[in-house]
A = this chain, B = another copy of it.
Amino acid sequence: MKRSKQPTIVDVASEAGVSIATVSNVLNRRKVPMSPETIRKVEEAVVQLGYRRNVMATNLSRRRSYELGLIIPHFGGYYGRFAEKLEQKVHSFGYHLSVFSAAGMDPVIEKRHLEHLLQRRVDGLVSHGLAMSMQSTQQLVGEGTPLVIFNGWGWPSDIVKLAVNLDFAKASTEAVQHFLAGGCRSIIYAGRRKGMGANEQRIQGFMEGLGDKAKSTVHALLDAGELGIEGTLEEALRISGEQRPIGIYTFNDALALELLAVCHERGIRVPEDVQLIGMDNELFSKSSFPSITSFDMPVELQTRLVAAFLMRQIGEDLDEENTQLLDEYLPHIHGHELFIDLEMIVRKSTTT
């Protein structure tokens, strides 16, 4: 070791008795022909000195970082699973994924993370439908770095290259129809205004699901964030009056579980008096009592699409499989928004 601390290729070169270019060549397994002897000497020197490449220098020189950034509202549940899957996918392309949580839907933190990622010159960005304004995003990201959104609606294509969205609207329609088929005489949506686009999608699908039954069926849109859990249930009961059973479709499973707990407290039977459908298919939804009907999130497909598209955008060439994947899905795109179906998992909260 020469100067302050960690050995550099200069050290390795002198230790191996070759030039730094040679070291760089063997380190990067370049196609230039070299004698096995040289290779051996270099590799020996590397372990000998405990050399570790400095990626900052490498990237600076390469003018590429081989790094991608992901911004999610939090690490829990669906988002955490998404992050893990995506990490695997991009790794198979030789990229690293840096994950940042925006602490809820805080636009300030979101902005900070985005800025940091950009300063790090990531080659691409993936984000949930951002809470920050489209204008800020536009200004921040600009043309330079390709940005792919997941579960974000209404983003102009000059900012976002592609939006890979779960079809919450369609799922919501399905939920309502499931309630109807299950004999529900009143149907409530318990949402979260802070859910932003995802919430609106659900509402839209909810109304579509009611269709002509909208007039003959008691229904309402509630905001659980505002009313609280107890308030939401009370309001649902009040609105429904004698029209039982009540079908309550919730923003997510967590909310459904909380409602379930309140039902237990008050002796309201599920699914006899109240039927519940959640969203996310969290682990606990299978094990709760009764188990909760929910929609499974196709994280695998979603991350595969995101990764494949981003890779192509960056200029990596795709293998057969990924090419096929894009060929299959991109033609069915609405503008630049792609929709993926969710699968309903029917459980005891809607089945007698």
Question: In the complex, are the beta carbons of A56 and B287 less than 8 A apart?
Answer: no
Residues of chain B contacted by A65 (CB below 8 angstroms): 56
Question: In the complex, are the beta carbons of A121 and B84 less than 8 A apart?
Answer: no
Integer count of this chain's copies in the complex: 2
Question: In the complex, are the beta carbons of A119 and B53 less than 8 A apart?
Answer: yes
Question: In the complex, are the beta carbons of B116 and A96 less than 8 A apart?
Answer: yes
Residues of chain B contacted by A103 (CB below 8 angstroms): 84, 87-88
A258 adjacent to chain B (CB < 8 Å): yes
For residues 288 through 303 of chain A, which have their beta carbon under 8 Å from a beta carbon of chain B?
A: 288-289, 291
Separation of A27 and B65 alpha carbons in the complex (Å): 23
Chain A count of residues within 8 A CB distance of the other chain: 53
- A175-192: CB near B (< 8 Å → 1, else 0) gives 000000000000000000
Separation of A96 and B63 alpha carbons in the complex (Å): 22
**A97: nearest chain-B partner, CB-CB:** B100
Tell which of A69-77, A311-319, A336-344 binds the partner: A69-77
Known: A57-B60, A98-B98. A52 touches B260 (CB 8 A): no
Question: In the complex, are the beta carbons of B60 and A291 less than 8 A apart?
Answer: no
Interface residues of A (CB under 8 A from B): 4-6, 50, 52-57, 59-60, 63, 65, 74-77, 79-81, 83-84, 87-88, 96, 98-101, 103, 115-116, 118-121, 142, 144, 254, 257-258, 260-261, 264, 282-284, 286-289, 291
